[in-house]
């Protein structure tokens, strides 16, 4: 079981924000899929569109007008111009989005970390200044997440063997062979461990 301890001042906020100008969401109305944001910039947003089990893959033909990369048979990375919410988030340096998900056509649920109550007030002020309707679902102390033993071992081995080096680094496949686990399992351990480490570094008070 992972151990967690609250930071001194950082907050985790879940909010639902109304908007109807997301090009990707609008293109996929009626398609049973999840839409998350991987990168939010003032001029473009990179979405991850993932089909649910009962989604007809043919429906993804609707994405042909966008820049996209097929990850696998049911998942695409789709780039489009930013909607009003993504553009705003890209400009708020005091807010760290850690999760987004479309709810229908008009709502976006976001999970963010803010460093303090003062920054939480700034977050709401920015939404109101942009004339965005929103609902705060929850506000809780941000929880510092400790690495599991497996995550720590994976990160240590990757660092020791030069996986993170720019030149001549060990490949994920080679590292997985050294550690005796599959590349997919190692990738997941590194992803989870890095996310915790970076988030804790940036937002632990």
Torsion of CA 146, 201, 84, 17, to 10 degrees: 40
> Does the pLDDT of residue 49 top 60, yes or no?
yes
Check residue 115 and give its pLDDT: 85
* More confident site: 78 or 141: 78
Q: Phi, psi (5° rounding) for residue 99?
A: 180, 135
* More confident site: 55 or 11: 11
188: its two tokens: 């997941």
What are the start-end ranges of the H helices in 48-170? 84-91, 117-129, 149-160
- Average pLDDT in the 13-35 region? 91
Q: How far apart are CA 6 and CA 10, in angstroms?
A: 8
Check residue 2 and give its pLDDT: 37
Query: Looking up tokens 């599991």, which residue turns up?
Result: 148
Check residue 205 and give its pLDDT: 43
Please give the C-alpha separations between residue 27 and each of 43, 83, 120, 165, in angstroms, as whole numbers. Answer: 19, 13, 32, 40
Q: Specify the pTM.
A: 0.67
> Does the pLDDT of residue 98 top 80, yes or no?
yes
> Does the pLDDT of residue 128 top 70, yes or no?
yes
Please give the C-alpha separations between residue 172 and each of 38, 165, 185, in angstroms, as whole numbers. Answer: 22, 12, 10
| Farthest CA pair distance, the chain | 54
Q: Which of 3-7, 32-36, 174-178, 183-187 bottoms out in mean pLDDT, i.e. has the lowest?
A: 3-7
């Amino acid at each position: 079981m992972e151990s967690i301890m609250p930071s001194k001042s950082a907050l985790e906020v879940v909010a639902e924000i109304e908007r109807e100008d997301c090009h990707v969401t609008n293109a996929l109305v009626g398609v049973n899929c999840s839409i998350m944001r991987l990168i939010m910039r003032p001029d473009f947003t990179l979405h991850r569109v993932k089909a649910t089990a009962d989604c007809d893959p043919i429906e993804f033909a609707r994405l042909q007008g966008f820049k996209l990369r097929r990850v696998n048979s049911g998942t695409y990375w789709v780039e489009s111009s930013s909607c009003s919410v993504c553009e705003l988030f890209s400009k708020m340096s005091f807010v760290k989005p850690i999760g987004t998900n479309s709810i229908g056509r008009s709502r976006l649920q976001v999970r963010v970390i803010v460093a303090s109550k003062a920054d939480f007030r700034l977050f709401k002020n920015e939404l109101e200044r942009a004339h965005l309707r929103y609902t705060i679902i929850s506000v809780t102390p941000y929880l510092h997440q400790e690495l599991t033993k497996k995550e720590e071992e994976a990160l240590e081995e990757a660092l020791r063997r030069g996986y993170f080096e720019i030149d001549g680094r060990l490949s994920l496949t080679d590292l997985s062979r050294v550690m005796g686990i599959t590349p997919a399992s190692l990738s997941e351990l590194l992803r989870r461990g890095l996310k915790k480490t970076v988030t804790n570094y940036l937002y632990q008070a």
